Amino acid sequence: MSRFDNEIRVRPSVLDRLIDYEPEYSREAAASRAKNLRILKQSVRRDMEWLLNTRQTLGIPPELKEVQSSIAAYGLPDISTFSGRSGADRLRLRRAVEEAIEAFEPRLEGVTVTVDPEPGPSLALKFRIDGRLKVDPAPEPVSFDTLLQIGSGEFRVKGE
């Protein structure tokens, strides 16, 4: 068995390869599987938070299939008129979050988003995002607790 059989086989994003998390060291020590997995989860959490906090600038006609999967469609549609008390709005937002993650977060598969069925008295809505990280030798289950501040439209993503 080679020494790579127990390692997570995943290539970090360009951003993660450019960031030096430990600038005081000229060389990085070899990371363990657990550390690689933790770093990957943190990276996915960060990128998902950026995705959910980005708003699409244009409505894209359904017949433009290629544009729908391009950077022009990155983010969520405008949610400024969203009501946390409306079941229809919560369903529409849940679908938009799920579709955005499926389209723009290739490191996750089997993504499901659940919305807290009863919004509390606060101006926040809770989501749970579940999926599997695409890593070898087997996908790793992950969950992210997500909070949408309805007043500001800001998402906060917390992960494992």
Report the distance separating Cα 70 and Cα 47, nearest Å.
17
User: pLDDT at position 5, please?
Assistant: 45
Three-class secondary structure assignment of the chain: CCCCCCCCCCCCCHHHHHCCCCCCCCCCCCCCHHHHHHHHHHHHHHHHHHHHCCECCCCCCCCCHHHHCCHHHCCECCCCCCCCCCHHHHHHHHHHHHHHHHHHCCCEEEEEEEECCCCCCCCEEEEEEEEEECCCCCCEEEEEEEEEECCCCEEEEEEC
User: pLDDT at position 4, please?
Assistant: 46
What's the mean pLDDT in 23-35? Answer: 70
Q: pTM for this structure?
A: 0.79
Higher local confidence (pLDDT), 19 or 100 = 100
The domain defined by 41-159 folds into: Nuclear Transport Factor 2; Chain: A, (3.10.450)
Q: Look at 25-29, 96-100, 148-152, 153-157 and tell me which has the smallest mean pLDDT.
A: 25-29
Residue with token string 């439209």:
153
User: pLDDT at position 68, please?
Assistant: 79
Is the pLDDT at 54 greater than 90, yes or no? yes
